[in-house]
Structure 1
């Protein structure tokens, strides 16, 4: 039995909730493949443990991939066009770029030594293969590990067939002691004791354990399910029922491989052992993608034949039978199915001819959820609402896919993209928002009144992506339709966003006029006025108008009356910007940090970057050059991660950025500035905000600290240089390419302001003397 050693790994690998049994040989062999092959596919029968093996390989390979190991779960992705976007989401890259997702991924991985695990590719083979081919041809140091029942068929793909767990030969006598040498019986006994802690085995049970594993073909998922039955059945009873079921259901999936028929038979047996209400709920729960809450299960799955008040008890029973698994969360109770179990449930739902009805109910449920969050936006709970939408992204995508693919559901499609507007525009999912709004508008009746709100949302998304022409077209159409039907709220949004369309390219006079007209005409619409005031204040500040501060404070007061936080943060930012423009640096820092403190509650990377930019400009203006340089390094990293730049927000902000850069270039030695920027660039989003809010530790640092300038990998390379190793020898020692070592060495020389390996060796020796 292997145990994952606790280690810090860059990436998003989940922590295991059950022990990992055996597989040490497989882990070693897959790692050896990854050392020479850039694309490795783990294939094998469903339930054989491809996902778990891939996760363990990634976890123990952290040192080989200093830029991270990233797991991308494709099980909830039903549309091939969303494969690349799923990768982007798993990397926590905020999509506010007007470039394609593929272009953003290529840029992100271009110089990284990372491992990407694409899990559950079998239903998206063509798109996964195309994406792997693109990334591997464009990113020299990237490795990809995939799991799929079907090969991707990409040049350079190395295949590893994941075997079933080891078992004793049917002809060999076994004892309890000898069973411990095999993975399948070890897993069965361990999982059985998890559900029956009092389970005691005797030598007479050894043969039964071996035969149960044999019947299950050593498939880990099958063993998990069978072990759950030991809660109420004895080992001999499990063996007896397995024998009968496999004989009865051997032909249940005639087109499948034998081992797939075996797994199907086991799941079918688990299904038959459920009570009728449990079977019904199992089938209906298969409509959810990526997990679900108890409230969702009650709202979508309940009916005359399945009372709402029974859902919780039925879920408890399905959890006990390993059909469902609770998902750790700080929010409401949440559950998910293994994908194989979900596929089986969908098959049963299809037999009941309920798929269309359940998809409609699922869409209605998530539309109601999104509309509830949007309706309560201008009040307390904004951050919690966005967190809830992020948690339900797979289900929202499923609902959007159904609504935009079903002609009779065009109203639901338009309502859903409108209700999700703050998810798109305030939570960092602009690219996804444009895709779905465009799709919903394309399939909907071109003259229907339900298009009006979706049109101004489409305009907002396009504006933030920098596509002013497309945004203007959407707003013009919205204005025409809203005028004809007297939709005053939509006209208010159009008026506000027309001002935004003037502000972004720096047309201050028409922007100010549009915003002032909006505030005057729609003073009774707090949604519109709140969005307008901070933009009016920014335009006034750009123009040098001191009334900007009064406008910003009016926005803050409006937000406070409603308990609203998001536009308040932007109003505070514009207040700080105006104070900075007029040389009130202390006040500007106080206002901007208050704005950034609010942003910690949100996923709005653009807003946080704008506020950190302002703090960097203030620092440079106050002579805090090293602090400003470190902030600029952190900000540059944020803009790169989200695929955007300050240039998209107008020439006036761009001019302030350039002025700050010039000040730093004239005030800091290049080595010091590079070191501080490297410090900042190494911070993740949360760390960057934390530093921007409290930079006091920098005051205690000496003018140069080259030992802390270097990353952990760079310090490791420096140590090996001091030992006299060549670049090629270092590459062999660290199991990386010589080209990667060349890059690390250049970074070390630049950061330390050195020109030779001898200087690096001497610095390393001094560092050891100081420790």
Structure 2
């Protein structure tokens, strides 16, 4: 049986190799899942539990309309992180509004879903409790786990994964050997030696794959001889281990010994990565002390060709990973070598540098790519943060592997280094955009609570962590905690004379005042933050507070709000920044809605959502969808407004209650208007349909669909579609001038201006002057810059 993973909803990885044999096992697992709600695949390490589970889940995918989701628990070291890791795997944002377990149960409650919990053995008790709670809350849920131990939960069905049959072992060996050597034919090899090799490997797929990778350079007979020697040696090391585990260790030991010394060194060092790694990380972390950066790529290719390292993809980026058994073996070897602590520090320093570069360059181009990279590295980021608080673990070293370095490493436990806690503080603070804009607010709060308690020394790193922690607390809706952290940050900033602390503290205080419904207090604080940040870091740094200042002015009915908002949009465009630009457009659209201009409001909300396509910013999307629904309802497209309100329900559930308070009354009015227009039954039907668009990409796609109403106000016509004079007219339309006023300003006749306006509407595919104004708000700064550059050349 040869198959590959299929295209079902969920996150199952694409198979890099064919699935061989075990036809009956796959069918039996699918049948078991139709009756049992919890099925555990057990067996020794390397026996193929993960691959079998993934194949069975793929085959059964059509039975689960809401998706099949893989949760790889290998990188999860603490039971307390289990629910959060599961929610992350399901694509749920960690916004901290409620505990991850509550979030999971609410999300799965009404879905028919298959959850695959892989590598449970080190978290058996936590997995058992999680399975019990989820299954009791979600009748349509099925859970498939892989573990070397059963979960021992009532109702658990256990499937013992046996070694491959002799026939399947031969088939797998031949398939994998042919993959590394196209000329290899199993029938041409010595039949007795091939059978002996498969027998000695006990039908363990991992061992067979490792052995097959060696048939590029060894004959089958040589491979058998080497494994025979290895078994005899290992039997003296650990006779208490089950035979299959000794066989697996023998296979990995044999694969390790056949690697060149440089390949062995890289294998060991790659084991510090959690959840995979990118090439630049491998080159930076693993180089030095015997390996040059230029060697890493070549050595990595060699390890890939030997099935030690796998090529994969995450967040659209090419990556590498080690199977967990291979990684554990390398980690053990690394500990024996005496290099573990040095490599862990290099790992932490690499990701600290990555986070600090992201923070320093935030208000510029490349935000989507930077956040995608941090999402892909989330497991590594947590591992790097863990280094700041972990206790050194002494790994027993077998006599045959013991070296002077290992003896020294084994005798002494690590003494806490103050530099480690400062690096921990710096990393947590530098990841503030990852926590707050990437859907990991709850994790950010947990990290700040730990590190601020563990590192009380009054340092600049603590000051930065304090105001960053306040931002996370504000996003969670815990405003009192945010106040406490800001009080300490302000005092510490003054004591240290750190000029960066003041504008951030002042801006955060203004934001908290806004959240408390006190815009009159927020305005002077935010104005002060903008002024101070402008002096310190120029225009880009002001963006953090400019859109908040615009919102405060909108709430106060200040006519200067539009100018402040346009300034935020202009600064964003000038520096290639996008996410704050989306928020500034949202504020301008919110102001337009308050002024009674739903058409302009809808156009600006749609423009904001276009930007949000490239991000994972839950709060920003929810706020734009909310106001867009009001605008669409006011425009008369009640059915589509009902769809959007339905889509909002599962998305807004994850936000803190305080963030939605200001929208409660207009939301209710919008809902009443739709029900009055459509009737309760039609509204409920559309609302339920909208609820099926329960991911950010799906909800944005729904909002930006074609049809009547404000959604048509976002023009995708090229900016050069308008002539120079038409661009001048569009700018004046955006300022609210009538045709006659524009004619006076430009020294043209009203008839000529009317013709220009008609041409603008036709070229942009828009239907009104308010839409032209919204279009100019979105694109005006780019047009001005293009015209200025053209003028300078002429």
Q: TM-score, normalized by length of structure 1?
A: 0.85
Is the Cα–Cα contact under 8 Å of residues 5 and 54 in structure 2 kept in the other structure? no
SS at match of 1:336: strand
**Per-residue CA shift, 1:387-426, capped at 9, x if unaligned?**
1111111111100011133642100110000110000111
Is the Cα–Cα contact under 8 Å of residues 10 and 69 in structure 1 kept in the other structure? yes
Is the Cα–Cα contact under 8 Å of residues 252 and 264 in structure 1 kept in the other structure? no
1:459 pairs with 2:444? no
1:216 pairs with 2:201? yes
Give the C-alpha shift of residue 201 in structure 1.
Answer: 4.2
- In 2, Cα distance between the equivalents of 1:659 and 1:203? 78
Give the C-alpha shift of residue 341 in structure 1.
Answer: 0.6
- In 2, Cα distance between the equivalents of 1:200 and 1:129? 45
Tell me which residue corresponds to 1:751. Answer: none
Tell me which residue corresponds to 1:592. Answer: 605
Tell me which residue corresponds to 2:461. Answer: 450
SS at match of 2:658: helix
1:488 pairs with 2:463? no
- In 1, Cα distance between the equivalents of 2:622 and 2:97? 18
- In 1, Cα distance between the equivalents of 2:440 and 2:200? 48
Tell me which residue corresponds to 1:292. Answer: 277
- In 1, Cα distance between the equivalents of 2:359 and 2:710? 44
Give the C-alpha shift of residue 697 in structure 1.
Answer: 8.2
Cα–Cα, structure 1 residues 626 and 487, in superposed 2: closer, same or farther, change >3 Å? same
Cα–Cα, structure 1 residues 361 and 18, in superposed 2: closer, same or farther, change >3 Å? same
1:397 pairs with 2:407? no
Tell me which residue corresponds to 2:25. Answer: 26
Tell me which residue corresponds to 1:479. Answer: 490
- In 2, Cα distance between the equivalents of 1:275 and 1:10? 42
Tell me which residue corresponds to 1:469. Answer: 480
Give the C-alpha shift of residue 699 in structure 1.
Answer: 12
Tell me which residue corresponds to 1:544. Answer: 557
1:55 pairs with 2:54? yes
Cα–Cα, structure 1 residues 493 and 14, in superposed 2: closer, same or farther, change >3 Å? same
After TM superposition, the structure 1 stretch with the greater mean CA deviation from structure 2, 76-85 or 614-623, is 76-85
1:653 pairs with 2:663? yes
Tell me which residue corresponds to 1:632. Answer: 645
Aligned residue runs from structure 1 range 374-385, under 5 A = 374-385=359-370
Cα–Cα, structure 1 residues 187 and 9, in superposed 2: closer, same or farther, change >3 Å? same
Tell me which residue corresponds to 2:180. Answer: 195
Is the Cα–Cα contact under 8 Å of residues 2 and 23 in structure 1 kept in the other structure? no
Aligned counterpart for 2:260 among listed residues 270, 275, 280 = 275
- In 1, Cα distance between the equivalents of 2:359 and 2:29? 47
Aligned residue runs from structure 1 range 486-565, under 5 A = 486-524=497-535, 525=537, 526=539, 528-565=541-578
Give the C-alpha shift of residue 299 in structure 1.
Answer: 1.1
SS at match of 2:173: helix
**Per-residue CA shift, 1:442-497, capped at 9, x if unaligned?**
11034333210000010000001000111111111111111111222111111111
SS at match of 1:288: coil
Tell me which residue corresponds to 2:235. Answer: 250
Is the Cα–Cα contact under 8 Å of residues 174 and 185 in structure 2 kept in the other structure? no
Aligned counterpart for 1:582 among listed residues 581, 585, 595 = 595
**Per-residue CA shift, 1:111-165, capped at 9, x if unaligned?**
2222211101112222222222222233333221111112223333222110011
Is the Cα–Cα contact under 8 Å of residues 600 and 710 in structure 2 kept in the other structure? no
Give the C-alpha shift of residue 233 in structure 1.
Answer: 1.4
1:343 pairs with 2:353? no
Is the Cα–Cα contact under 8 Å of residues 632 and 710 in structure 2 kept in the other structure? no
- In 1, Cα distance between the equivalents of 2:521 and 2:188? 88
Cα–Cα, structure 1 residues 603 and 410, in superposed 2: closer, same or farther, change >3 Å? same
SS at match of 1:445: coil
Give the C-alpha shift of residue 650 in structure 1.
Answer: 5.4
Give the C-alpha shift of residue 677 in structure 1.
Answer: 1.9
Is the Cα–Cα contact under 8 Å of residues 499 and 511 in structure 1 kept in the other structure? yes
Give the C-alpha shift of residue 502 in structure 1.
Answer: 1.1
1:139 pairs with 2:138? yes
- In 1, Cα distance between the equivalents of 2:341 and 2:327? 16
**Per-residue CA shift, 1:638-688, capped at 9, x if unaligned?**
223xx226x422543222212211211211122222222233222242122
Aligned residue runs from structure 1 range 691-730, under 5 A = 691-696=702-707
Tell me which residue corresponds to 2:754. Answer: none
Give the C-alpha shift of residue 369 in structure 1.
Answer: 0.8
1:417 pairs with 2:416? no
Cα–Cα, structure 1 residues 541 and 322, in superposed 2: closer, same or farther, change >3 Å? same
SS at match of 1:237: helix
SS at match of 2:456: coil
Give the C-alpha shift of residue 14 in structure 1.
Answer: 1.6
Aligned counterpart for 2:677 among listed residues 667, 675, 678 = 667
**Per-residue CA shift, 1:8-43, capped at 9, x if unaligned?**
522211222211111121122222332332222111
**Per-residue CA shift, 1:492-520, capped at 9, x if unaligned?**
11111111111112122112232223234
- In 2, Cα distance between the equivalents of 1:330 and 1:35? 32
Tell me which residue corresponds to 1:119. Answer: 118
1:386 pairs with 2:371? yes
- In 1, Cα distance between the equivalents of 2:494 and 2:315? 45
Cα–Cα, structure 1 residues 464 and 25, in superposed 2: closer, same or farther, change >3 Å? same
Tell me which residue corresponds to 1:40. Answer: 39
Is the Cα–Cα contact under 8 Å of residues 268 and 333 in structure 2 kept in the other structure? yes
Tell me which residue corresponds to 1:732. Answer: none
Cα–Cα, structure 1 residues 535 and 5, in superposed 2: closer, same or farther, change >3 Å? closer
Tell me which residue corresponds to 2:148. Answer: 149
- In 1, Cα distance between the equivalents of 2:481 and 2:239? 52
Give the C-alpha shift of residue 296 in structure 1.
Answer: 1.2
Give the C-alpha shift of residue 255 in structure 1.
Answer: 4.0
Aligned counterpart for 2:226 among listed residues 233, 236, 241 = 241
- In 2, Cα distance between the equivalents of 1:83 and 1:425? 21
**Per-residue CA shift, 1:346-404, capped at 9, x if unaligned?**
11111111111111111011101111111110111111111111111111110001113
- In 2, Cα distance between the equivalents of 1:13 and 1:693? 28
Number of residues of Structure 1 aligned to a counterpart in Structure 2: 682
Q: TM-score, normalized by length of structure 2?
A: 0.83
| Structure 2 residues without counterparts, runs of 5 or longer | 392-415, 712-794
Cα–Cα, structure 1 residues 214 and 589, in superposed 2: closer, same or farther, change >3 Å? same
Tell me which residue corresponds to 1:681. Answer: 691
Is the Cα–Cα contact under 8 Å of residues 119 and 146 in structure 1 kept in the other structure? yes
After TM superposition, the structure 1 stretch with the greater mean CA deviation from structure 2, 102-111 or 252-261, is 252-261
SS at match of 1:13: coil
Give the C-alpha shift of residue 283 in structure 1.
Answer: 0.8
- In 2, Cα distance between the equivalents of 1:117 and 1:650? 34
After TM superposition, the structure 1 stretch with the greater mean CA deviation from structure 2, 40-49 or 649-658, is 649-658
Aligned residue runs from structure 1 range 760-771, under 5 A = none
Give the C-alpha shift of residue 632 in structure 1.
Answer: 1.1
Tell me which residue corresponds to 2:717. Answer: none
- In 2, Cα distance between the equivalents of 1:504 and 1:11? 36
1:78 pairs with 2:111? no
Aligned counterpart for 1:311 among listed residues 281, 286, 296 = 296
- In 2, Cα distance between the equivalents of 1:150 and 1:190? 30
- In 1, Cα distance between the equivalents of 2:318 and 2:132? 40
Cα–Cα, structure 1 residues 302 and 203, in superposed 2: closer, same or farther, change >3 Å? closer
Is the Cα–Cα contact under 8 Å of residues 276 and 320 in structure 2 kept in the other structure? yes
After TM superposition, the structure 1 stretch with the greater mean CA deviation from structure 2, 530-539 or 429-438, is 530-539
Aligned counterpart for 2:348 among listed residues 359, 363, 369 = 363
Is the Cα–Cα contact under 8 Å of residues 631 and 710 in structure 2 kept in the other structure? no
Cα–Cα, structure 1 residues 379 and 357, in superposed 2: closer, same or farther, change >3 Å? same
SS at match of 1:404: coil
After TM superposition, the structure 1 stretch with the greater mean CA deviation from structure 2, 353-362 or 84-93, is 353-362
- In 2, Cα distance between the equivalents of 1:557 and 1:530? 10
